[in-house]
Amino acid sequence: MRKSQWVKTIGQKLAHLLLVASVQPVVGAEEFNIKLDKTDIKWGEVFTLEIEAKNPLNRTVQGGITVSFSSNLIVTDKDWKSKIYYEGSKVFNKGHICCATTKDIMVENWYKRWPASTKKRMRLKMFVLKTGTLKIYARAAFIKSIRKKQVINFPKRSSVLDQQNYPVYVKHVLVKESPNFLRNFQLMINNSEALDSPEILNNLQRLVNNPRDKSALHFFGIEDVKKSPDYLVQLKKLINNPKIVNSPHFMFYLKRVINNPMDKEALKFFGVKLVKKHKKPARTEKAKREAVDFIENQRGGENLIALIEAEGDIFFIKPNKSHTIQLDYYGSYYSFDKTSNIVSEIAKTIVRIKPNSEYIKKVEPMTNTSYRMLIR
């Protein structure tokens, strides 16, 4: 090939590449931008996300900005255009060929008219309901041809796809533990968007059933709890009555008692009387050893001890009188006389105070025994 022909051929190829590049949307800071006011927050701390995208085409089209998240969160403020798709919502999959079911919360701003070369913005305020790393998946899409279902997506390629199978930009926010349960709970119940979440009452009920429920504590921003705090014990007492929970005034008085644990009117609603605190009975190894020695010598005693040990939330404490055995269940104390019927009496009491125990009727695998089986 002559030099002149070679130059001409290379020139044509280069011109073709430049032409292709000129009609392809080049995504940079001007075309798509993600802004976060914070990338390191505490659980429950509100942060702001802004996404700005520019229509790369030379004509007006339909388009939208879409963002989804790797963790459950609550949107406290949004644009009027923003539509929230909660878990289980139906959305279009890539190519509009079928519907997909959302596994994570997703927010979309869709514009039926997006003028050429103009920018649109999504702005959200929110807080996350899980510690760890929050991943934010963001993209923009422009429908070039509705009939042919041609979509231009920002980004065009990515190693990460969202739940609609489109490539996305990824941002990270570190969400750290906030060990102040009272502050966390107060933040949630005072937020109207949060109260719409069924997860709050579900996790609250789990704490009522077991104030050491790790999953429920994680929901409220607590990662490392070595023992159940006193306020969880009080919470259990406040919400144990279904008539109270189902009352239309429940959340009103719950807010009041959280804001002020000494609110007399709120406490009266919950049927709580203020009493002077007494010194807690001590949990000692000696008290446990003496109680276990006596109980295990009774009929069914070894099985009862095995059930108590398996659940791990009932403790033996130092009794007031030498002829009794005392149990501690989340700050409530129960005394039993040392008689041959003590196994049955303790089993009856546990059935009464722990109606949600899995071993009331179901047998514990190691002993093949339930509490009901020990009642005579």
User: CB under 8 Å to 4, separation ≥6 — which residues?
Assistant: none
Enter the tokens of residue 279. Answer: 């010194």
Average pLDDT, the chain: 78
Binned at pLDDT 50, 70 and 90, residue 330 comes out as: confident
- Taking alpha carbons only, the member of 152, 149, 137, 150 closest to residue 54 is 152
Q: State residue 331's pLDDT score.
A: 77
Domains and CATH numbers, the chain: 25-176 (2.60.40.740), 181-269 (no CATH), 285-374 (no CATH)
- Of 5-9, 155-159, 167-171, 269-273, where does mean pLDDT reach its minimum? 5-9
Backbone angles phi, psi at 352, to 5 degrees: -75, -45
pLDDT per position as a tens digit, 264-317: 787 777 666 655 555 667 778 888 999 999 999 999 999 999 999 888 888 998
pLDDT at res. 1: 47
pLDDT at site 189: 59
Which residue type is seen at 217? L
| Residue 90 confidence class, pLDDT cut points 50, 70, 90 | confident
3-state secondary structure the chain: CCHHHHHHHHHHHHHHHHHHHHHCCCCCCCCEEEEECCCEEECCCCEEEEEEEECCCCCCEEEEEEEEECCCEEEEECCCCEEEECCCCEEECHHHCCEEECCCCEEEEEEEEECCCCEEEEEEEEEECCCEEEEEEEEEEEEEECCCCEEEEECCCCCCECCCCCECEEEEEEEECCCCHHHHHHHHHCCHHHHCCHHHHHHHHHHHHCCCCHHHHHHCCCCCCCCCCHHHHHHHHHCCCHHHHCCCCHHHHHHHHHHCCCCHHHHHHCCCCCCCCCCCCCCCHHHHHHHHHHHHCCCCHHHHHHHHHHHCCCEEECCCCCCEEEEEECCEEEEEECCCCHHHHHHHHHHHHCCCCCCCCCCECCCCECHHHHCC
pTM of the model as a whole: 0.52
Residue environment code for 271-309, b if the CB has 16+ CB neighbours within 10 A, otherwise e: eeeeeeeeeebeeeeebbebbbeebeebebbbbbbebbe
Q: Could you tell me if 67 and 81 are in contact, meaning their C-beta atoms sit under 8 angstroms apart?
A: no
Q: Is 72's pLDDT higher than 50?
A: yes
Beta bridge partners of 153: 141
Q: Which of the listed ranges 88-92, 178-182, 205-209 does the model predict with the highest average pLDDT?
A: 88-92
**pLDDT value at 8 more than 80:** no
Whether cis (ω within 30° of 0) applies to the bond prior to 155 is yes
pLDDT tops 60 at residue 23: no
CA distances from 45 to 19, 130, 170, 183, 203 (A): 48, 11, 21, 11, 20
* Beta bridge mates, 315: 328
Write out pLDDT tens, residues 184-229: 666 665 555 555 556 666 777 676 667 667 777 767 666 655 544 5
Contacts of 193 (CB under 8 A, 6+ apart): 74, 75, 76
pLDDT of residue 77 exceeding 70, the answer is yes
Quote the CA–CA distance of 152 and 62 in Å, as a whole number. Answer: 11
How many Å apart are CA 67 and CA 140, to the nearest integer?
Answer: 9
Which of residues 128 and 214 earns the better pLDDT score? Answer: 128
